């Protein structure tokens, strides 16, 4: 029991420490990609403004850009998307050097710096790449140490909002339950195509599933991530844009109260069960760690949606005590894909090609969430103070 408490406490402290490190000034925060056919957008998130200088323009299978005035922090590297095979950020004098290894012959179509705005609190250096030639054979490099592989692939539970007798919000031509199911099936196909995940759906047809049952499905399956898909509605038809919800502090308190109503609640979380007061502390810590993981995924998800030029609400990361977010031990988000009451959003969500592209961005966000577990966490906070991506 003491060992379990120590492990959980160390985990929470580690998350908090990384979150503080993430907040240091003047660093490259991360890199994300939006791929669409023969073009790929590279978005470099920065804590401050920077000037870019092209070193390699892509002719030799590599794009290298020097960024002045921003440090590398601990350095970044990982897999790419679209025209980019992989990336690496290294120190370069008083700045940073971003190297993009290309999967195909490409050239820089344009570069520009975006200041904070539209709900994004940091600078973004954008590089648009355009394909020019055939595939490139990557240079041979020394093998790198890898993290131990999981015994099982991560399990993703996809929840298509509403269904059956609950149609959800109504647009001019379509109901929310139809949009959410189509999007959920597209996301399932995208994730299964990668071969990296196990996927389970709370509903795969036009059936009604109780809200509490959706949470139970995720918990009983020991899900690694729960994502609920919805389409927003509003009284003003001009409002449009996607947003992501994670559990609020008030919702977290409600979740703990509801979870501890039964006599044997500690067994559901595989807690020792010898000391109720210690188990309650461990439950609170588990809930907090889950909130932090959910907030991390929300941030990653929104950055990938933004990279595909998907319109976002100004305050795109929101918190609420929604029923489907109440599992204390499964990281969960609710994605409002857009406003079904807005003509442009309804048309986009009803378009199979646009919807598939959006779910590709969601799948890319899931990839980044699981492939970079060392990424610092955005700490959950009270009320509406949870940061906006």
Write out pLDDT tens, residues 299-316.
Answer: 999 999 988 888 999 899
Q: In the predicted model, what is the mean pLDDT of the chain?
A: 80
pLDDT band at 5 (very low <50, low <70, confident <90, very high): very low
Rounded Cα distance, 299 and 102, in Å: 26
Q: What angle do CA 12, 17, 21 make, to 5 degrees?
A: 150
- Whether the per-residue pLDDT at 212 is higher than 60: the answer is yes
- Give, to the nearest 10 degrees, the angle between helix 2-22 and helix 276-307: 30
Do the beta carbons of residue 252 and residue 242 sit within 8 Å?
no
Least confident range of 98-107, 186-195, 253-262, 294-303: 253-262
pLDDT at residue 272 in the model: 52
pTM of the predicted structure, to 2 decimals: 0.61
Give the mean pLDDT of 172-178: 96
pLDDT band at 277 (very low <50, low <70, confident <90, very high): low
Structure tokens at 325: 């977010």
Going from the C-alpha of 182 to that of each of 12, 77, 241, 306, 385, the distances in angstroms are 37, 34, 19, 21, 33
pLDDT tens sequence across 132-165 = 876 665 544 433 433 444 457 899 999 999 999 9
pLDDT band at 269 (very low <50, low <70, confident <90, very high): low
pLDDT tens sequence across 122-132 = 888 999 998 88
- Whether the per-residue pLDDT at 384 is higher than 70: the answer is no
| 62-68 vs 51-57, strand pairing mode | antiparallel
pLDDT band at 284 (very low <50, low <70, confident <90, very high): confident
pLDDT band at 380 (very low <50, low <70, confident <90, very high): very low
């Amino acid at each position: 029991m003491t060992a379990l408490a120590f492990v959980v406490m160390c985990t929470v402290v580690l998350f908090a420490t990384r979150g503080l490190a993430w907040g240091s000034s003047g660093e490259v925060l991360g890199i994300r990609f939006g791929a669409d056919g023969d073009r790929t957008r590279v978005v470099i998130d920065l804590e401050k403004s920077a000037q870019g200088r092209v070193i390699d323009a892509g002719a030799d299978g590599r794009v290298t850009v020097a960024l002045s005035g921003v440090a590398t922090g601990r350095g970044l590297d990982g897999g790419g998307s679209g025209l980019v095979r992989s990336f690496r950020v290294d120190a370069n004098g008083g700045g940073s050097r971003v190297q993009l290894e290309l999967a195909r012959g490409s050239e820089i179509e344009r570069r520009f710096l975006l200041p904070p705005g539209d709900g994004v609190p940091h600078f973004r250096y954008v590089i648009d790449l355009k394909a020019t030639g055939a595939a490139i054979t990557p240079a041979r490099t020394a093998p790198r140490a890898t993290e131990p592989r999981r015994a099982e692939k991560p399990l993703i539970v996809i929840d298509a909002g509403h269904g059956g007798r609950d149609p959800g919000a109504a647009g001019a031509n379509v109901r929310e339950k139809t949009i959410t199911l189509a999007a959920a099936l597209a996301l399932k196909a995208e994730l299964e195509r990668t071969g990296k995940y196990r996927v389970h759906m709370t509903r795969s047809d036009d059936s009604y599933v109780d809200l509490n049952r959706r949470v139970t499905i995720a918990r009983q399956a020991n899900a690694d991530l729960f994502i609920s898909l919805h389409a927003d509605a509003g009284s003003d038809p001009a409002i449009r844009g996607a947003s992501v919800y994670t559990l609020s502090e008030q919702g977290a308190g409600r979740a703990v109260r509801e979870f501890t109503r039964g006599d044997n609640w500690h067994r559901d979380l595989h807690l020792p069960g010898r000391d109720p007061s210690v188990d309650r502390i461990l439950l609170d810590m588990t809930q907090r760690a889950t909130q932090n993981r959910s907030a991390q995924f929300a941030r990653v998800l929104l950055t990938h949606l933004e990279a595909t030029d998907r319109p976002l609400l100004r305050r795109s990361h929101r918190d609420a005590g929604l029923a489907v977010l109440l599992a204390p031990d499964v990281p969960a988000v609710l994605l409002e894909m857009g406003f079904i009451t807005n003509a442009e959003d309804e048309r986009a969500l009803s378009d199979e090609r646009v919807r598939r592209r959006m779910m590709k961005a969601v799948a890319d966000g899931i990839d980044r969430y699981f492939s970079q577990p060392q990424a610092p966490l955005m700490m959950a906070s009270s009320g509406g103070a949870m940061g906006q991506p």
